[in-house]
Structure 1
């Protein structure tokens, strides 16, 4: 059942670049193996943390195929298929090789600021054309529009292949309304690392995580306690991660996580404009935190 496969921790995988800005496939393969070895439950490709808006459509298609092949069935895969034009999302559904994926993650259309009815009609169209289960993605801080709990529940109720929501509104009350009224099969996943335990304690199913790129073992230990219902142990474990997680977002995402990964020697720090590399001060902060809390 898809709900069991995609509960727990999905890692929103970064896209490493070479110093001249090309996709670094060797580093991407290394990252995939690193997070799988670290115990993550599944991988999310081509999401926000992947710098997907800076990737050309042919690059996205190649990356999707590469990640599928590198995972080789070891963990489930969720593929990002989103955009601010509904027809463009349908193009992605046609052009990406989705045969190795278990679901798609589709963000609310950004910049256009559609109404709640517009969001409903967008996801109705996506759900009708998707060959895979759909996880909705609400992140108003980036898109400029909040999908309300009522709209999320309406979409999930009307379309059987909508199986979950990645909620990154930062509004725990809105998340609670979804939890209170959801059908049994609807996954409710945190889109914020720092809200994971609060959401899971209220009955949520897990997180699609940025931090699990850099600190998969420690983050999995924390969420493992939460899945077992031991939130006291989970919060003790998270205390060692808290400052590092906050540092990941101090200069924006994925700037922070790429800075941490570069400090750890896993990838280079290169970003594509308009994003820029983390500051020297942030690099030093990560060096200190990784050593202090043994986050390797």
Structure 2
């Protein structure tokens, strides 16, 4: 899975004022991010997958496939807290041309580690393409423990984990004992350089929507063992990064993209577009 090394961008879903999908904005986003990213992640959390319909998800994926001028690999988000619904979504999705699916750990239910293991095992057994685990305890309220990740890593169809726990010790444990070929991917933009120093191969990034070239430098430098250059690139993002989450993701990055002229800042409820205070802070930094 060499395609998953470097920078993956968790694409936002641009909306029109009436909250329909803004495909012209999505086209601009694909062209903008192609300046520096290595692969696209479609319908992850940053793509507001919680509030797009199954029909919209399929349309977005199809559009990205058809307008992928840079011929970048595509990762598609299929996850949830109802295992059977995830399996049904996998079976009904058009995964031709998709390199892997990204599947979030079950949220709200708060399953045991064995429950998490069995959930992902049956997903991996079912999926016709490789599976990337997604651990984001801040959203799911449960953590995929390192030993659970390592058990799952033995499955031939589970190839990577996007780790957004913020726990570097846990990431070290995964990196230390992962089988050959299993990839550790950062899920925290600003932790990417230290994570790559302990064995991660890149990032699935929010800020790469707006600053693809910065993340290209950050990940490529680290992959070349130039961690000083990688850190310098990360330092460019240190002030703006917290603003991306001040009113929940992707509110902040959509505001940046509007200022850059890529797409509008509309988000679907219950999220709200950036407040005047947040807009002012972002404009000031940019």
Work out whether the TM-score is over 0.5: yes
Pairing 1:136–2:122 present: no
What is the aligned partner in structure 1 of residue 246 from structure 2?
250
Pairing 1:241–2:200 present: no
Partners of 1:13 and 1:49 within 8 A in 2: yes
CA distance in structure 2 between the partners assigned to 1:209 and 1:255 by the alignment: 15
CA deviation vs aligned residue, 1:37-82 (integer Å, no higher than 9, x gap): x220101001000000101111111111111111156110001010
- Mapping for residues 148-163 of structure 1, pairs under 5 Å: 148-157=145-154, 159-163=155-159
What is the aligned partner in structure 1 of residue 26 from structure 2?
28
Q: Could you list the runs of 5+ residues in structure 2 that have no partner in the other structure?
A: none
* Count of aligned pairs: 286
CA distance in structure 1 between the partners assigned to 2:228 and 2:121 by the alignment: 41
CA deviation vs aligned residue, 1:167-210 (integer Å, no higher than 9, x gap): 01111111110001001100100100011001001111111000
Residue 187 (structure 1) aligned to one of 183, 208, 212: 183
CA deviation vs aligned residue, 1:252-282 (integer Å, no higher than 9, x gap): 2111111111121211111100111111122
What is the aligned partner in structure 1 of residue 95 from structure 2?
98
CA distance in structure 1 between the partners assigned to 2:40 and 2:121 by the alignment: 25
Residue 16 (structure 2) aligned to one of 2, 18, 25: 18
What is the aligned partner in structure 2 of residue 9 from structure 1?
7
Q: Could you list the runs of 5+ residues in structure 1 that have no partner in the other structure?
A: 291-296
What is the aligned partner in structure 1 of residue 214 from structure 2?
218
Residue 61 (structure 2) aligned to one of 61, 64, 79: 64
Deviation at 1:238, TM superposition (A): 2.1
What is the aligned partner in structure 2 of residue 177 from structure 1?
173
CA distance in structure 1 between the partners assigned to 2:148 and 2:233 by the alignment: 35
Partners of 1:120 and 1:151 within 8 A in 2: yes
* SS in structure 2 at match of 1:278: coil
* SS in structure 2 at match of 1:243: coil
CA distance in structure 2 between the partners assigned to 1:246 and 1:219 by the alignment: 17
